Amino acid sequence: MKQDFLETEISIALVKETFSTELSRQLSLARISSPIAILDGTGINDDLNGCERPVAFPLKAMQDRRAVVVHSLAKWKRIRLKQMGIEPGNGILTDMRALRPDEEFTAIHSIYVDQWDWEQRIKPEERSLLKLKQTVTKIYAALKKTEQVVHLSYPGIIPSLPDKITFIHSQELLSMFPGLNPKQREHNAAKEYGAVFIMGIGKNLSNGEPHDGRAPDYDDWSSPNSDGYFGLNGDIIVWNSTLNSAFELSSMGIRVDPEALARQLKIRNYTSASLLQFHNMLLAGELPECIGGGIGQSRLCMFMLKKSHIGEVQVGIWPEETIKKFSETGITLM
């Protein structure tokens, strides 16, 4: 569906308002404010895969103490749950804005990241595969609801999500497609099922490699679970018929407890992190058990509105050759 800038902005607002409202209802989340930058050296910023450089700057009013633009709010939210006294079964939702200058420019990547960061407090006994799957199912219901609302407003946009999301462990996926790399395995699974949740991302598989990288200090990717595998985290990936490819919408999981944190820091040879503020609080048992994740806002708008480039739903910085290439096909990047 071709739209001008104003029409696109109106449809973006529809997607964002519908999904965030439905997600809040499904998971009992309260909307809160959040920071764009935090002090460095606390261990609170998300390290992502451990190699991305944060945007940093000195604070004149604090003797040039270094601050960093957040990568995500994975660990900040856990502290916030404690500060706000959130009870189990309830949680928080915030609009996260980040800069990731090490991102490559692609049709689905830019240096500006906008996502819904959410976190729900759980009971210790809910650290389970069942809780993970129940939560994913509720998020998927919010996705389906949003797709229906978009279709009612724009009949030319045809819904494509299947009725249910399929759960696959990353080890199972490797066994299904042993000759393919992780992205190719995701592509095949998404194409076959329409929507998948790939679990257990971070720990090495039977081939000696992880499905994808994960920092050691937010998702629990190493604990044994009830299906005979490991990990209590994963990614929601759907089939994007516009791009003819797998399309990741969310990364999420049950967060590390003290035991899982200590184990994963050791696996990643990062035990020195235990001296940082966040890690020290967690290892001391001072932070609540929780499940949480991020859901890409521009990604979701791309998918729901059948756009072929993230620049169609997000104002950003684009290489001149990219702008020219898409302009020649009748697509103007915001």
Residue 3 among the catalytic residues: no
**Contact partners, residue 272, CB within 8 Å, separation at least 6:** none
* Candidates 235, 257, 289, 312; catalytic one: 235
Give DSSP secondary structure letters for 248-316: EEEEEEEBP-HHHHHHHHHHTT-GGGGGSHHHHHHHTT-S--EEEEEEEHHHHHHHHTT-SSGGGTS--
* Virtual torsion, Cα 282, 286, 287, 288, nearest 10 deg: 130
Residue 186 among the catalytic residues: no
Q: How many CA atoms lie within 13 A of 140 on its CB side?
A: 23
Residue 184 among the catalytic residues: no
* Candidates 24, 223, 250, 251; catalytic one: 251
3-class state of residue 220 by DSSP: coil
Count of other CB atoms within 10 angstroms of residue 89: 12
3-class state of residue 37 by DSSP: strand
Residue 100 among the catalytic residues: yes
Burial of 132 (0-12, 13-18, 19+ CB in 10 A): buried
* Candidates 46, 114, 147, 289; catalytic one: 46
How many Å apart are CA 299 and CA 109, to the nearest integer? 9
How many Å apart are CA 264 and CA 231, to the nearest integer? 11
How many Å apart are CA 15 and CA 139, to the nearest integer? 14
* Candidates 20, 115, 170, 297; catalytic one: 115
Residue 248 among the catalytic residues: yes
* Candidates 22, 24, 78, 100; catalytic one: 100
**Contact partners, residue 158, CB within 8 Å, separation at least 6:** 151
Find out whether 5 and 334 touch, Cβ atoms under 8 Å: yes
Instruction: Report residue 25 CA to chain centroid gap.
Output: 19
* Candidates 126, 248, 257, 289; catalytic one: 248
Active site positions, annotated: 46, 100, 115, 235, 248, 251
